[in-house]
Copies of this chain bind each other. A is one copy, B any other.
Amino acid sequence: MSKKVSFAVIRRLPKYYRYLDELYEKGVTRISSSTLAREMGLTASQIRQDLNCFGGFGQQGYGYTVEKLRNEISDILGLNRQNRAILLGVGNLGRALINNFSFERCGFRLVAAFDISPGVVGTKINNIPVYHLDSLDTFIDGNPPELAVLTIPASETPDMASKLEKLGIKGIWNFTNRDIRSEETSLKVENVHFADSLMTLCYMINDKEE
């Protein structure tokens, strides 16, 4: 597990995790690499290669034990650590994430949200307290959560990223439509781009027409 795994493989692990977890929930106990490959739209050889990177839990002629492989992937990703997360910007998207998104499943505990609107500051949403953004420093007070979820206006993104970096946050899950680039920050960042998948879909739909 301490073995270095390439980032391209790491990027595929959540997808493996999702499928294996689904299988586990359905009561499936083992799966062959060829079935897993078919389910996931990959080749069996790619799957074997990927999973060999961290020990190769498969057994010739038997396949993989679903629960064991799922748990091993969860360990590699660190999903059991339940690091603390805060959410900044309680608009529609922020609210949707607080209400409907399972942070726990992805390795985080959402502990608080922040906004500036009097209508929402002081309330609780899905049991998560919403504080005024001005109290962020006091809230953190030398004990920064690991993650900040950014659902603030795009124009405020660069300043907020600098601020969060100074406060000791480690990572940003960025929904703001304003990328935070690696050269701008030492933070770990995932910029979420809804648009990319819709543009791809645009191609697929039009492609079929031709």
- Do A14 and B200 touch across chains, with their CB atoms under 8 A apart? yes
* Chain B nearest Cβ from A172, distance in angstroms: 8
Q: How far is the CA of A207 from the CA of B147 in the complex (A)?
A: 14
Known contacts A95-B92, A100-B92, A199-B17; A147/B205 CB under 8 A = yes
Total interface residues on A, using CB and 8 Å? Answer: 57
- Do A197 and B171 touch across chains, with their CB atoms under 8 A apart? no
Residue in B92, B171, B192, B196 whose CB lies within 8 Å of A99? B92
Q: Does A102 sit within 8 A of B, measured CB to CB?
A: yes
Residue in B14, B79, B173, B199 whose CB lies within 8 Å of A14? B199
Of all chain B residues, the one with the shortest Cβ separation from A15 is B196
Residue in B17, B146, B195, B199 whose CB lies within 8 Å of A205? B146
Could you tell me which A residues sit within 8 Å of B by CB distance? 2, 10-11, 13-15, 17-18, 41, 76-79, 81, 83, 91-93, 95-97, 99-103, 105-108, 146-147, 170-171, 173, 182, 188-190, 192-208, 210
Q: How far is the CA of A204 from the CA of B106 in the complex (A)?
A: 12
Q: How far is the CA of A146 from the CA of B91 in the complex (A)?
A: 29
- Do A171 and B79 touch across chains, with their CB atoms under 8 A apart? no
Residues of B within 8 A of A77 (CB): 199-200, 202-203, 206
Residues of B within 8 A of A79 (CB): 199, 202
Q: How far is the CA of A96 from the CA of B92 in the complex (A)?
A: 5
Residues of B within 8 A of A203 (CB): 10, 13, 76-78
* Chain B nearest Cβ from A162, distance in angstroms: 18
